[in-house]
Amino acid sequence: MTRPTPGAGRFAPSPSADLHIGNLRTAVLAWLFARSTGRRFLLRVEDLDDRTHDQVAHRQLDDLAAIGVTWDDEPQWQSRQRERYDAVIDGLVARGLAYECYCSRKDILSAPRAPHAPEGAYPGTCRGLSDAERAAKRKAGRPPALRLRADTDEYTVTDLLHGTYTGVVDDLVLRRGDGVPAYNLAVVVDDAFSGIDQVVRGDDLLSSSPRQAYLANLLGYPQPSYAHVPLVVNGEGKRLAKRDGAVTLGELGVRRAFALISESLGWPEADMAGLLRRFDPHRLPREPWAYQPV
Ligand code: GLU
């Protein structure tokens, strides 16, 4: 008898800067959620953007290993999967679900938008361009982004910590004007290709999850379960950043960083095995962790 393949959780850092203690805490939580439910755990390097660096990626992987995060399979590098994204985008184009967009960020921010649409949500300016209008824009020289023709403006996901969450779905970017596959597209495609059925990440991404779940559904992918965990903030209540002081593993040392993370969760333990024994998602702190750099 063959056993069903277990699902998988993941951590997917962007290698634009070293992981700080908040990122490491999120990675530890993603690992705990996955391992406590018998899932595999995968790492993905989100290096499509040109602000990311291989060297930083390798340091991130080393730091994760040092803190005790273990993973299955080789880490996936998004920059090596361009054909995969292109094939999915081609499929959406063939279904008539994509259109060219010539707007700059400034155009988008200054365009009138629907009363409840949040700032930055795409107002649909290029959705109905005629062939002639498109040809004129093309001639003007700005390379177009490719956007999804969404047929809804909201979508609902279920989150283990936030319950039912309904958020905006706009005509999100599939491929940027510079040809790089967009973040939302790449995340959805990779999660599905890797069999990831549990997405645990910082709650700054909660508002992206309806867009991603909607896109997954359009592509016929299963919906993962979500848990968006509280971020770590500095003494002023602002999102922790490197400039806040001693925040990286290099600055703190592995033992101290691990002790701070496990104490912040309310389960002071010496290692990941200890944390795993104590882990209870229902008892996770729901407030951001206010970290005072020493
Ligand atoms: N790469 C994203 C980040 O570092 C996370 C993407 C995700 O977890 O879906 O913020």
Cβ count within 10 A of residue 258: 23
For residue 1, is pLDDT > 70? no
Distance separating alpha carbons of residues 86 and 181, to the nearest angstrom: 8
Atom of ligand 1 nearest to the CA of 187: 9
Task: Please work out whether the CB of residue 17 comes within 6 Å of at least one atom of ligand 1.
Answer: no
**Percent of the chain beyond pLDDT 90?**
84
Please report, as a single letter, which amino acid is at residue 263: E
Distance separating alpha carbons of residues 28 and 31, to the nearest angstrom: 5
Residue of 98, 281, 95, 81 whose CA lies nearest to 192: 81
Q: Are 72 and 35 in contact (CB under 8 A)?
A: no
Task: Please work out whether the CB of residue 14 comes within 6 Å of at least one atom of ligand 1.
Answer: yes
12 CA to middle of ligand 1, Å? Answer: 5
66 CA to middle of ligand 1, Å? Answer: 20
pTM of the model: 0.94
Look up residue 183 and give its two tokens: 């973040």
23 CA to middle of ligand 1, Å? Answer: 10
Residue 92's pLDDT band (boundaries 50, 70, 90)? very high
SS3 5: coil
Task: Please work out whether the CB of residue 200 comes within 6 Å of at least one atom of ligand 1.
Answer: no
Atom of ligand 1 nearest to the CA of 212: 9
289 CA to middle of ligand 1, Å? Answer: 19
Q: What is the pLDDT of residues 48-69, one digit of tens each?
A: 998 999 999 999 999 999 999 9
Q: What is the pLDDT of residues 100-116, one digit of tens each?
A: 999 988 888 888 777 67
Task: Please work out whether the CB of residue 46 comes within 6 Å of at least one atom of ligand 1.
Answer: yes
Domains of the chain: 8-78+230-290 (3.40.50.620), 83-175 (3.90.800.10)
Cβ count within 10 A of residue 50: 10
Residue of 56, 42, 58, 71 whose CA lies nearest to 193: 42
Q: What is the pLDDT of residues 174-229, one digit of tens each?
A: 999 999 999 999 999 999 999 999 999 999 999 999 999 999 999 999 999 999 99
52 CA to middle of ligand 1, Å? Answer: 13
Distance separating alpha carbons of residues 81 and 166, to the nearest angstrom: 31
